[in-house]
Amino acid sequence: MASDRNMVSSEDHELNYVLRKWGKKQSIANRNILAGYLKDFKADDAFRPHNRENFYKYIDQKFLKSNLEDSDVTEVADSNDTTAILSGGTSGSNVGDKSSTGTKVLNNADAYDDSKKGKGFLIPIIIIGALILLILLLLLLFGFCKCPAAPVATTTTTTIEKITTTTTVYEKQFTNQTLSREVERYSPIYFVKDKAILLPGEDKKIDMIADYMKNYNSINIKIEGHCAKVGWPKREYNLSVKRAELIKSMIQERFDRVSIETEGFGSEREAVKNPSKSDMAKNRRTEIIIIDSDSDK
């Protein structure tokens, strides 16, 4: 037949494969029975095309039919003999085969009694299940089953970038404290005895203080005037006020964003108590006190 090329090249090999597949003994007698099945199969037009798959179906029907017609287990002739039982049933005829030990097989019925625990009904189900699995395997092997490719798992990696924000806090360079320290460097400012006139070089102190004040938007200060004790309190007071007013005018000439308050104390607040003649010069002075200031720097 045209499609016989789908069968294996060796019929003996193919028949042995079928016997193993259905759990039958690979004996000459069983192969002869299957050879007869194969001949009938090739002549049976109901099983076209005559390929391996249809041959398995044909054999399966033969075994099932035989199993239905003869469900009893035939006893062996001699209890001393070792009997080989075919586990799936053949075409219904006895298989007479002698093994290497001389044991004769009397029947090709199932190897167990159907009445034991009801297991006889499992044989056809197992055979049918095996056949279905075989058919599916053949379809896969011959490319008849085009199964969709398994989905490929996609892994998405999300990178979270850590953003670090650095906040730089700039400390103001010009504050009340820095202005006070700068003024203290050039204060007190000293005067000539009994006059509201600066000693030589003291005006340089006013220049340095005014230059530093230019770093500020606004400044509020107080200038205190003092003098040495000479025995005339009213005169001493008036002289201390004049000295404070002199310093006020000199600063305002150099820096106009300043508010200045003046006050005279006469000889009430001597820098040196009970001074000698040389120490009295330290009491002829003015002092600058920073009250408030504002700067963007």
- Do both 99 and 31 map to the same domain? yes
Write down which residue in 97, 123, 141 finishes a domain.
Answer: 141
206 close to 251: Cβ distance less than 8 angstroms: yes
Peptide bond preceding 151 in cis form (omega within 30 of 0): no
Residue 275 located in a structural domain: yes
Sign of the dihedral defined by the CA atoms of residues 237, 242, 243, 247, in that order: positive
**Judgement on whether residues 16 and 88 belong to the same structural domain of the protein:** yes
**Assigned domain for 231 exists:** yes
Same domain flag for 25 and 102: yes
pLDDT of residue 220: 98
* Cβ neighbour number for residue 103 with a 10 Å cutoff: 17
* 7 plus 137 within the same structural domain: yes
**Which run of H or E residues covers position 274?**
none
- Dist. CA 189–CA 199, nearest whole Å: 8
Which CATH number goes with the domain that contains 214? 3.30.1330.60
pTM comes to: 0.45
pLDDT at 36: 85
pLDDT at 180: 96
Co-location of 118 and 204 in the same domain: no
Same domain, 137 and 196: no
- 197 shares a domain with 119: no
CA–CA separation, 247 and 198 (whole Å): 9
Query: Are residue 132 and residue 242 in the same domain, yes or no?
Result: no
Q: Compute how many other C-beta atoms are within 10 angstroms of the C-beta atom of residue 42.
A: 16
Residue type, 69: E
Determine the pLDDT at residue 236: 94
118 and 11 part of one domain = yes
HSE-CB at 274 with a 13 A cutoff on CA atoms is: 0
What is d(CA 76, CA 85) in angstroms, rounded to the nearest whole number?
A: 10
Residue 245 and residue 117 in one domain: no
Does residue 161 belong to any structural domain of this protein? no
Q: Tokens in use for 168?
A: 């730089």
Q: How are strands ordered across the β-sheet holding 189-190?
A: 189-190, 285-294, 218-225, 258-264
Instruction: Convert the pLDDT of each residue in 191-246 to its tens digit.
Output: 999 999 999 999 999 999 999 999 999 999 999 999 999 889 999 999 999 999 99
Determine, yes or no, domain membership for 156. no
Q: Rounded to the nearest 5 degrees, what angle is found at the Cα of 266, between the Cα atoms of 264 and 271?
A: 100
Last residue of a domain, one of 98, 121, 141: 141
Which of 141, 161, 189 is the last residue before a domain boundary? 141
Domain hosting 234: range is: 176-294
pLDDT of residue 216: 97
- The C-alpha atoms of residue 128 and residue 195 are separated, in whole angstroms, by 135
* Interaxial angle between packed helices 52-69 and 122-141, expressed in degrees from 0 to 180 and rounded to the nearest 10: 180
CA distances from 107 to 30, 85, 91, 126, 244 (A): 11, 7, 11, 21, 143
Q: Which residues of the chain have pLDDT under 50?
A: 1-9, 67-117, 145
Same domain, 112 and 29: yes
Contact indicator for 98, 29 with CB cutoff of 8 Å: no
Report the number of distinct structural domains present in the chain. 2
